[in-house]
Amino acid sequence: MDADETRESGKRPGYNHGLKHGLCSSDTAQNARACGLSAGCRSDPHSNSHSHSYCHPHTGSCGSDEDTTWGDEEEEGGISEFLPSLLGITGIALGFILRRMGYSAYRIPFFMASVFAGYPVARAGIRALLAGRGADINLLTTIAGIGAMMLGEWAEGAAVLTLFSIGEYLEDKAGERTRKSIRELMDLAPATARVKREGGFEEVPFHDVVPGDVVVVLPGERISVDGNVLSGESSVNEAPITGESVPVDKSAGSQVFAGTLNGEGALEIVATKGARDTTLSRIIAMVEEAQSRQAKSQRLVDAFARYWTPAMLALSVLVAIGVPLVSGQAFRPWIYRGLTILIVSCPCSLVISTPVTVVAAIARAARGGVLIKGGIHLEELGQVKAVAFDKTGTVTLGRMTVEDVVRTKGRVVSEREDDVGSEKEPEAGETDGQQNCDPGGERDERAVLAIAAAVESRSEHPLARAVVEAARLRGVEFTPGEGFFAVRGRGARASVGGEEAFVGSEELFRDEGIPVPEDLVKLGDDMRASGKTVVFVGTRKGVSGMLGISDSVRPEAREALGKLREKGLELVMLTGDDRRTAETVATRLGLTKFLSNLLPEDKVHAIQRLKYEVGPVAMVGDGVNDAPSLAEATVGIAMGRGTDIALEAADVTLMRNDLNAIPWAIDLARKARALIIQNVAFSIAVKVLALVLVFGGILPLWVAVMADSGASVAVTLNGLRILRHS
């Protein structure tokens, strides 16, 4: 929609992303129809389904009368929602008092309690039936309550409906914690932005800000856009986006995110993204996407429930009518047992046992700066046996710097901009010394850097950016090359000054039939031994020189890898760098396994082999060349400042470039998986025990209701424990 339509709708583009009706996924809503159930989200405790952040089977439908969104949803759980249950409790208490006193009118308060507590339940059940969704637990409970009163069990009928109403209310209150966690994301962005205009400032809806606008943020205000600081200095609390608890200092040129909190100084920010494309918008979109990706255990439970409920309904009819007809026994006790089976037959707690934990875990991960794209990836993350790391930009900072520029001995390279790339023989007075060993050495080194920058100016590779930045900082002028072509895993070539020039590994030059001088090869080996990446520069006429480029290991990398090793995970580093460089970095990290000289397809093969030998594998990367291996891994983990293609290919994104988030996320996923197993086992145990007691004739209707609602509340509260993960 355009901006005008957006303003009229009153919604926040880029932030609601269809997060309607709680966190109901279409798959869950469909599969939860097991006992004619429908998973949904409602605006009151009984109509149109639960308002839970996960889909609950007790209810009506996601297609409710109200088209609510997280951003517009009102706080729930007030006294009005508890009023039907409260009136039911009052009626039951009054009925017992009157019966105790010997009054025959005790049936009236029991009946009124059934009406007050049961009306919302019956209304939701009938709506679901008329909408074609079958008999859900609301309707089954209503039938059981009416049946009990028809059998003369007035107190029990009232208790069935009242206890069910109380259970629904308690379960809804428990689910509010998850909804609140997700809603907090919606509240991060301010509604307006202060945009700098000619002659002053103008307050505009934040979704009207376009890239290029200058937004002014005063101390203590939330930042409304993604952008770069134009002027001003301040500290910014980025915890809502990255999970980083310490405020980050910002000055001119620093990147800032929408939804973060400005500190003590005023900032002028140039917006780089529209409202729909901000990092906060992407987080909410990923949370929405996570709803539709069910965990494997959830799919198994839904498949089980699809067959369980019809079987239990048939059993209920068989017990109520078939047994007395065949055995000749009285109908009354068997009808009572059949009604009890109606209550215990619905696998409510079983169906919600997985999604409540999954959604709560995804919400907790998002608050910690880790975006998990779905329940299936959460479950897989908790099962990984090995973690593979890319080197550059992942275990290293990715801030490459050119530290050494060396020219080939005996070759002089022109530095003139109109003659970049041409070579000539040494003139009188010039020697054949190496770097800093001859009068023309500095000039020749600048020329080597000019050729390299001319080629690499067309590339987005971290090494290429380092070369171009080095040329800029040293004042080396160059003209961007033409006909740029990247040679995967080797380097690049382009036309520079009318001559074909190459920048890359020793293998690139040998593949092109260009010999590399032995003295440069030896010097390159020495550089690699110290952890530097070596890049050769030259033309068809020969190698002109080489660059020594270094990258620092992330300060937290060794600690993070140590935590992963303590969890029993196998660790390996994958890199396209040569063996000497890879070995040096691996030693600094305390790694014993690494693979070097890998092309992107080689990394994919390495992941495949690791999966075959060890089991589920997580791959951590940040670049374009990591995308294939991220997709191949059981779980792909992308660094948040990585390339867009890496973020798309990954299943998990670290918004804060901190490797310590990986062991934290794996621990979260393992705990979530343990909670899911606990919930499923508990739900099955309760159902089996209840059925045994029903056939033994010792399970009253009201106890069956307490068992059903109590189990649902129990698995909900147990699943929500993951929100306390630290």
pLDDT of residue 340: 81
Question: Which amino acid is residue 109, in one-letter code?
Answer: P
654, β-bridge pairs:
370, 639
Which of helix, strand or coil describes residue 505? coil
| Mean pLDDT calculated for residue range 660-688 | 91
Do residues 294 and 199 make contact, with C-beta atoms less than 8 angstroms apart? no
pLDDT tens digit string along 130-162?
887 666 667 777 877 787 787 777 887 787 788
Cα 231 from Cα 486, distance rounded (Å): 37
Q: How far is CA 305 from CA 135, 138, 587, in A?
A: 14, 17, 52
| Mean pLDDT calculated for residue range 368-390 | 88
pLDDT tens digit string along 47-101?
433 333 333 333 333 333 333 333 333 444 456 778 888 888 898 899 889 888 8
pLDDT of residue 158: 82
Rounded-to-10 torsion of CA 685, 686, 687, 688: 50
Rounded to 5°, angle at Cα 178 from 163 and 173: 25
pLDDT of residue 571: 95
| Mean pLDDT calculated for residue range 315-338 | 84
Instruction: Mark whether 519 is an active-site residue.
Output: no
Mean pLDDT check: name the lowest of 289-293, 469-473, 708-712.
289-293
Question: Which of the 8 DSSP states describes residue 223?
Answer: P
> Cβ contacts of residue 440 below 8 Å, gap of 6+?
412, 426, 430, 431
Range among 174-188, 520-534, 665-679, 700-714 with highest mean pLDDT value: 665-679
> pLDDT over 70 for what percent of the chain?
73
pLDDT of residue 663: 95
Q: At which residue do the structure tokens 């600081």 appear?
A: 229
CA 597 to chain centre: 32
pLDDT of residue 186: 59
Rounded-to-10 torsion of CA 507, 513, 519, 521: 10
Mean pLDDT check: name the lowest of 8-17, 393-402, 532-541, 705-714.
8-17
Q: At which residue do the structure tokens 């209810």 appear?
A: 59
pLDDT of residue 78: 57
> Cβ contacts of residue 541 below 8 Å, gap of 6+?
423, 499
Do residues 449 and 402 make contact, with C-beta atoms less than 8 angstroms apart? yes
CA 277 to chain centre: 16
Alpha helix ranges (H) inside 542-578: 557-566
User: Which comes out higher in pLDDT, residue 165 or 272?
Assistant: 272
Which of helix, strand or coil describes residue 41? coil
Rounded-to-10 torsion of CA 435, 437, 442, 446: -30
Q: How far is CA 664 from CA 92, 561, 649, in A?
A: 50, 12, 21
pLDDT tens digit string along 563-617?
999 999 999 999 887 788 888 889 889 998 999 888 778 888 999 999 999 999 9
> Cβ contacts of residue 308 below 8 Å, gap of 6+?
34, 35, 345, 347
Which structural domains are found in the chain, ordered by start? Answer: 45-185+288-362+671-724 (no CATH), 192-277 (2.70.150.10), 370-397+553-655 (3.40.50.1000), 401-550 (3.40.1110.10)
**Residue 635 in this model has a pLDDT that exceeds 50:** yes
Do residues 412 and 425 make contact, with C-beta atoms less than 8 angstroms apart? yes
**Residue 621 in this model has a pLDDT that exceeds 70:** yes
| Mean pLDDT calculated for residue range 512-530 | 88
14: pLDDT confidence band, cut at 50, 70 and 90?
Answer: very low
Kindly report the average pLDDT of the chain as a whole number. 76
pLDDT tens digit string along 385-408?
999 998 878 888 877 788 889 888
Given the residues 172, 226, 302, 390, select the one marked as catalytic.
390
pLDDT of residue 564: 95
User: Which comes out higher in pLDDT, residue 422 or 620?
Assistant: 620
Do residues 600 and 574 make contact, with C-beta atoms less than 8 angstroms apart? no
**Residue 35 in this model has a pLDDT that exceeds 60:** no
| Mean pLDDT calculated for residue range 704-712 | 77
pLDDT of residue 263: 84
**Residue 416 in this model has a pLDDT that exceeds 80:** no
pLDDT of residue 301: 61
Cα 432 from Cα 478, distance rounded (Å): 25
> Cβ contacts of residue 328 below 8 Å, gap of 6+?
none
Do residues 244 and 228 make contact, with C-beta atoms less than 8 angstroms apart? no
Give pTM, 2 decimals.
0.59
Residue 193: CB atoms within 10 Å: 27
